[in-house]
Structure formats: C-alpha cells, structure tokens
Amino acid sequence: MKPQYRQLKIIDVLRRTGQASVDELASKFKTSPETIRRDLSVLARNGKIVKVHGGALLPNSQGEGSFQQRMSENIVAKRIIAEKASQLIASGDTLFIDTGSTTLIFAEEIASIKNLIVVTNSTEIAKVIGANSTSQVFLLGGQYNKDNRQTTGTMALSQLEHFYAQHAILTIGSLSITTGALDFNQKEATIARAMLKRAKNSILLVDSSKFNRTGSFVVAELNEFNQLVCEIEPNQALKTALLANDVEVI
C-alpha cells in the first residue's frame, strides 16, 4: 500500500474511533510500527492529526457536532465514491466543490493532481487542495458557519459569478425519482445550485444511504445533472429514471 493511501486510511480510522495507537494501526495495515510512526509524523506536520504518546488523535480543529458526526458515517462508502470520482478529474481542470463530508474525502483524493483550479465554500477543502503548490484555490467569502466550516449567503453567490468550471462536484442529502436531488439546508442547496449552473459538467457524490430519502430544498431535478457517483447501484427504478434523464451512473 502506498504511503499516501495508507495515510488517508489512517485518517479514516481516526474519524471513526477518535484515537488509535501505533500498534493498533500497524496491525490493521499489516506494516511495522516504525512505518506507522513515519506516517503519523507526515500527517501531524500537515495538521491532519495530533501525535500523542503511543498513537494519534484528531485535532480539535476537526470540530464537533453534526459535521464531525457525518465525517464518521459511511466512511468506506465515501472513500469508494471519492476514489471513483477522482478518476474523472484531470490536471488543469477547474472545479467547483461544495461543502460536505464526501466532498472533503474527494478533495483528499485529488489533492495530488497538479495544476487544478478549485473554487469552494469549504475552508477544509481549501486547506486540503492548497497543500499542493501547483494548484490554485479560491475560497468564497460570505457568512461563516463554524460547524460545517463553510461560507454561504449572497456574498458567496455573487463571487461565484466570476467563475466557470469544467466540473461541479456536489453532495446532497437525498435522491429520489419523484423529488430529484435535495438537501436539508437551504443555504447549502442555494450554493450547490449556483455551482451546477456555472459548470460544463455536474457530478453528484451520493452514498446509498441517501437513495429514496426525502429532503426539503431542491438542488437539481434528475435532468439537471450529468453524472452520479455511488458505491453501489441504485435500485432498478431509480437507475432507470436516471438513465432516462441522461445521467451516467458510475
């Protein structure tokens, strides 16, 4: 396993457990304690984790509350989705990426791709992409939410009008035949819609727990986005509806 990939997996473990020892991580990844210590040193230098005696934990800056809770849910599914979606991105692309637990993991997957231009309302995503010196990050201004570590509102929407992207990469709260793509937060849904309208291609990252759920605020009808990336296929009815609306299911 490549060090960079193992380090992402270590972060996933800490998201689920909060803390882990060097020996636990060495056993899980079938490698030596010395290798794990080197991984932890790299992650600590990048501000991803905090090293403690015999192990590591997440820094306080990772936050608490609903966003942190989402970061610990369906980690395997979200990593699969992020890996699939990263294959759609090429060096030199301009991307809109909205705030979400899956899009943050996606940002980790694409962080090594060179010469990206990323426009986001997430301070966490900006930090991840900004670690690559070849890429440019534009962080939208606006009203700041400390839980989700994002900006929203009219200022952010106004600034979006200065950009156009090859891809808009978006997360949502639910997806169904009758309602399309919905979110549970009105301000987040508004940002997502604006990104979708100013991109050549739109990609929804949706884990299967969100299929056929109900939300409150419209992000897109089924015919308004181009690709759906998920860890398992939707049921036949939803898949048929997506394909009928020219949505590629990945």
Residue 50, SS3?
strand
Q: Copy the structure tokens of residue 218.
A: 């419209």
Q: Which amino acid makes up residue 150?
A: Q
In degrees and rounded to multiples of 5, residue 178 shows phi and psi of -80, -35
Q: Copy the structure tokens of residue 239.
A: 């898949």
Distance (Å, rounded) from C-alpha 145 to C-alpha 33? 38
Q: Give the CB-side neighbour count of residue 51, counting CA atoms within 13 A.
A: 13
Residue 39, SS3?
helix
| Structural domains of the chain, with CATH | 3-62 (1.10.10.10), 67-249 (3.40.50.10470)
pLDDT tens digits in sequence order for the chain, 250 residues long:
788 888 888 888 887 777 889 999 999 999 999 999 999 998 888 777 888 888 988 765 444 345 555 555 678 889 899 999 999 999 999 999 999 989 999 999 999 999 999 999 999 999 999 988 999 999 999 999 887 889 999 999 999 999 999 999 999 999 999 999 999 899 999 999 999 999 999 999 999 989 988 788 999 999 999 999 999 999 999 999 999 999 999 9
Distance (Å, rounded) from C-alpha 86 to C-alpha 79? 10
* Partners of residue 97 on adjacent β-strands: 120, 169
pLDDT score for 109: 93
How, if at all, do strands 199-205 and 180-183 pair? Answer: unpaired
User: Which value, in Å, is the radius of gyration of the alpha carbons in the chain?
Assistant: 18
Q: What is the pTM of this model?
A: 0.76
Q: What are the start-end ranges of the H helices in 91-174?
A: 101-110, 123-130, 154-160
pLDDT score for 48: 78
Distance (Å, rounded) from C-alpha 223 to C-alpha 180? 9
- 156 by Cβ neighbours in 10 Å (0-12 / 13-18 / 19+) ranks as buried
Distance (Å, rounded) from C-alpha 101 to C-alpha 230? 14
Residue 6, SS3?
helix
Total length of the chain: 250
pLDDT score for 15: 77
Distance (Å, rounded) from C-alpha 86 to C-alpha 151? 24
Distance (Å, rounded) from C-alpha 107 to C-alpha 211? 23
pLDDT score for 147: 77
